Amino acid sequence: MMQKYIIENHVSNRYFLTFDRFYLYLSKKMISLIQLEYIVAVDTYRHFAQAAEHCYVTQPTLSMQVKKLEDDLGIKIFDRSKQPVIPTDIGQLVLAQAREVLAGAGRISDMAKHHNKEISGELRVGIIPTLAPYLLPMFAGSIRKDYPGVLLHFEELITESIAAKLHKGQLDAGIFVTPFNDTGIVEQHVFYEEMLVYAHPDHRLAGKEQVRVADAAQPDIWLLSDGHCFRNQVVNLCSYKPQEHNELPFSLEGGSLETLIRVIDREGGFTLIPELACASLNPEQKNNLIHFSDARPVREVSVCYSRHYVKRRLIQLLIDEIRKAIPARMQQEGLNEVVKWKS
């Protein structure tokens, strides 16, 4: 029995079937890739109607195929008594293998396109808010112009939301700050972005060509709201505890760097901003920038994707186009200290 084989191998912490053996099992049982797509969609959306809408079929059609697959395997993949529906224990193992099989099948199509020198398809990409306004205009338009067969869809999200969507297959790639330390996500480092001080002209740090990292542990620092990785980097770099000795005129958990910059220009104080954001400043504002003198802290920006990734060629195109747009000096690894934001 397949169920017995699954459980025995799960206990030994191994995948229950290799790709070839599972494929052979599928062919013998006449289980289709469409059925696997349906159960993965149900797992992703945890709702049969939404899964059917995503797969462009009616809910009865999807439900019937899922039930047929469960009957053929002799197991229950989903617990329908729960709302939203959740996978059973054995269902989680089947779903993990189904994602592997679908990824392998997708790579066949990718290989054919590569052989035919064809670059086309749809790429869904998540990007964090502290990168999107500055990085996207540098490369996204040129991809569409040079590769008209490539459709790019960008979604601005915080890192944790991007990672969750990568795991569920709702995004093909993410552009965010690493190390992220998730074994299910592959990180491909693309560039290193310096972190600088932005201070009001009357601030005690203003007018200096450089400051030490220790000088940035000040009680009048403006921070992004919780959930932004750049906030965590600033707090970690400055060894600052936001709840202590706050000297700001009012409380603000900023959702964007632009908000913090405008507030500083009006109310005083300072913050840290990443290098790409500096290009959007006017000449007067650029006079408010200060470099760090010690170890020039940077954040590591990567293109990330699930280990089950399929669209190898499109993801590599994304990486190549970003590198073309970024100065070579920002692509050199190991020159400065990478500030971590996630333990």
| Rounded distance between C-alpha atoms, residue 326 and residue 331, angstroms | 8
Give the 3-state DSSP-derived string for 80-119, with helices as H, strands as E and coil as C: CCCCCCEECHHHHHHHHHHHHHHHHHHHHHHHHHHHCCCC
Say whether domain 119-343 belongs to CATH 3.30.1370.110. Answer: no
CA 222 to centroid of chain Cα atoms: 25
The pLDDT > 70 percentage for the chain reads 86
Q: What is the pLDDT of residue 336?
A: 85
Token pair 């990785």 in the structure block, residue: 229
* pTM, full prediction: 0.74
Neighbours of 25 (CB within 10 A): 15
Mean pLDDT of 233-258: 76
Residues 6+ apart with CB under 8 A from 87: 43, 77, 78, 79, 95
Confidence of residue 9 (pLDDT cuts 50, 70, 90): very low
3-state secondary structure of 290: strand
DSSP E strands, 139-267: 150-156, 173-178, 185-199, 210-211
CB atoms within 10 A of CB 245: 11
Contact call for residues 272 and 235 (beta carbons, < 8 A): no
CA distance linking residue 80 with residue 69, whole number of Å? 15
The model's pLDDT over 157-198, given as tens digits with 9 standing for 90+, comes to 999 999 999 988 889 999 999 999 999 999 999 999 999 999
Cα-Cα-Cα-Cα dihedral sign, residues 72, 78, 81, 83: negative
Q: With bands split at pLDDT 50, 70 and 90, how would you rate the model's confidence at 11?
A: very low
Residue 153 confidence class, pLDDT cut points 50, 70, 90: very high
Per-residue pLDDT band for 16 (boundaries 50, 70, 90) equals very low
Domain ranges of the chain: 2-114, 119-343
- 291's enclosing H/E stretch is strand 289-292
User: Span 2-114: which CATH code?
Assistant: 1.10.10.10
